[in-house]
Amino acid sequence: MYKLSKSSKKNMQGIDPRLIEIINEALTISVVDFGIPSGGGLRTAEQQRVMFDNKVSKCDGTKNKSYHQTGKAFDIYAYVDGKASWERAHFTTVATAMLQAAAKLGYPLEWGGLWKNFKDLPHFQLKG
């Protein structure tokens, strides 16, 4: 079983408690370690605008708000061989654990890696 680092726990502050439950449950079943990057949890409109300007989000933070701004979303990175990994296979493995954990807990979780128009592999959000 994996554990989140202090910085990952700090980066989760302000997100919906259901997401925290999902993350903690996923840590018990995932075969790939993961963490929450800086900016991967709750975001202000200004932080979201930076993500939009850097072309890593479709949401500008004002007209088109992100689920991150409401605490209903989080991003991850995989942690493999002592370093962050952004490989699709690692994200898919962690996403499988996240979706299994959400189903077990009865929470409606959506993974950005399954979106049709914009694949956001690190992203998870509560549906609806």
Please say if the pLDDT value at position 128 is more than 80.
no
Least confident range of 25-29, 52-56, 98-102: 52-56
pLDDT at 65: 94
pTM equals 0.94
Provide mean pLDDT across the span 23-42: 96
pLDDT at 6: 96
pLDDT at 5: 94
20 vs 108: CA distance, rounded Å: 13
Q: How confident is the prediction for the chain on average, in pLDDT?
A: 95
Quick: pLDDT tens for 61-110: 999 999 999 999 999 999 999 999 999 999 999 999 999 999 999 999 99
pLDDT at 57: 87
Share of the chain above pLDDT 90, in %: 92
